[in-house]
Structure 1
Amino acid sequence: MRAFIFPGQGSQKIGMGAELAEASAAARDVFGEVDEALKQKLSVLMFGGPEEELTLTENAQPAIMANAIATQRVLARDFGLATNMTADCVAGHSLGEYTALCAVAAFDLATTARLLKLRGQAMQAAVPVGEGAMAALLGADIEKASALAAAAAQGEICEVANDNDPSQVVISGHKGAIERAIALVKDFEIKRGVLLPVSAPFHCSLMQPAADRMAEALAGTLIEAFALPLYANVTAAALTDPDAERALLVEQVTGRVRWRESVLAMRADGVESFVELGGKVVGPMVSRTDKEAQVTSLVTMQDIEAFAKEMT
């Protein structure tokens, strides 16, 4: 069995998608449709920057999605490898869950772009700049990270945001609490705490205002039947029910990204091969979670061509 997986925030970089756009009309169509949906030349920003503008959450989220869906459409249109014929399930890390939903036709491309633009704006606006922070805990498992977060909170918010793999957990919350957590890492036998260059404390309870905005937006958004099962971030389990997923997407804004558990669940359900579309971020997390898993990352046309050759 094979899973198509999709990266989250932090995988954006200047030049993303430019080679695909030059080589494939399928990719150009994706970037053009996203630009039209957002009434913004996002593709110009993706291809040429400036970096500080691309890194803004409201731009990075739809840009990462567009790049991954361009990869998916190149596979389908140029090489005949439609997602529902090539993969058995999908999953995405944080915003990547929206990309995964687009890939299985639950959302159309324009809807996905608009939802992610709104999601980025809502998450940025939820907490004043400078009040929140996130940190990656290196050499930490979920038990150590949870204990550290509880000790560092001291009346503030300090929560596990991403359980990425057995050696990396991300915490999120008030800036003071995150700084205390970094100072305490050695006491919890954690190798290192690294402050992340993010503009807001994602996936913690401080994001409730953003969750409320997304609940309102998603209530008025049609979610179609999934072409393939999706492993949801907050449950680490497969689902195909659009109404259940609507609620989970709201919960995801404040909830933990259970990526390590999602990988283990897919493996337990028979997935042997994981193919990351549009990045090289979540694939390595899969490898660190289960060394026996086969992991492929598709970023360039050369990557896509090599994968297509394997499939024929």
Structure 2
Amino acid sequence: MTFALTCENLVKRYDGTAVVDHVGFHIDSGEAYGLLGPNGAGKTTTISMLVGLLRPDGGSVQVNGIEMGSDPVEAKRLIGYVPQEIALYPELTARENLRYFGRLYGLGRRRLAARITEVLDAVGLSERGDDKVQTYSGGMKRRANIGVALLHEPELLILDEPTVGVDPQSRVAILDSIERLVGEGVSLLYTSHYMEEVERVCTRVGIIDKGRVVADGTRRELVAELGGTDKVDLVLDGDVHAAAEKLRAVEGVTEAAVTGQNSLRLLAVGGRHLLPALLGAVDGLAQVTGVDVIEPDLEAAFLHLTGSTLRD
């Protein structure tokens, strides 16, 4: 099977220290893959090697079966890369920027004209295509940046922090555009400091820490690393200490702690399914007036695996 992207045992050293240490993962054709890591984890260096901007000290990168090391021109042709920094000419219009970069891609005049129209529509800039980029908001500049990467219809789109520094409305527009592209079958590598973006866009996630991929899988698989324990917060009217004692005996409950005058926190496997048993256990001791079940999420899995939050 040919993957949209395969990297194996990637290594990059600076002053004898491996900042990327045998990193490997793959992206299926048509898949949206998220690459997460705290600052300094080696994520940016990895991406630079994937797009051919940095030569690895070891390992290999293949794009749709083309080896980056032996045929970099063809491999790069298959990639659309959107860097963190805006890579546009501000004194040109979006259409002029697209025309310039399209010629660099080698697109013919007729094909380029059609692609410019299609790309402006795809990123929601059709009505502002003839305005200079310097008049754009931050979000519009980022959408135009994505448009440049789409011009040559790449097999793989790599987005490095595409929503950094934009307002919430622009962020939603960018994510909507990205979701449409994924729905059309574009393969995607996505990095972000916003966990909710990765959960929304990506079907599979790799977590890199200290130069190594420490986990790779779907959201459900990564959350399973936590052991599937939910937090269940109960607000009670009655004897909370006696209720805690009773709840500790319920199968599936691993801990029951009094957290306030009228509140308990339980750790339980399958918290939502246990609710009838929990309510039954305290019947006659206390009346439950509030329930909140907090299930593990990708942020919790990330913290568990790296010991830091995504923005650390």
Q: Which has the larger radius of gyration?
A: 2
> Which protein is richer in helix relative to its size?
1
Instruction: State the TM bucket, normalised to the shorter chain.
Output: under 0.3
> Which protein is richer in strand relative to its size?
2
Larger relative contact order (Cα-Cα within 8 Å, sequence gap ≥ 6): 1
TM-score (normalizing by structure 1): 0.25
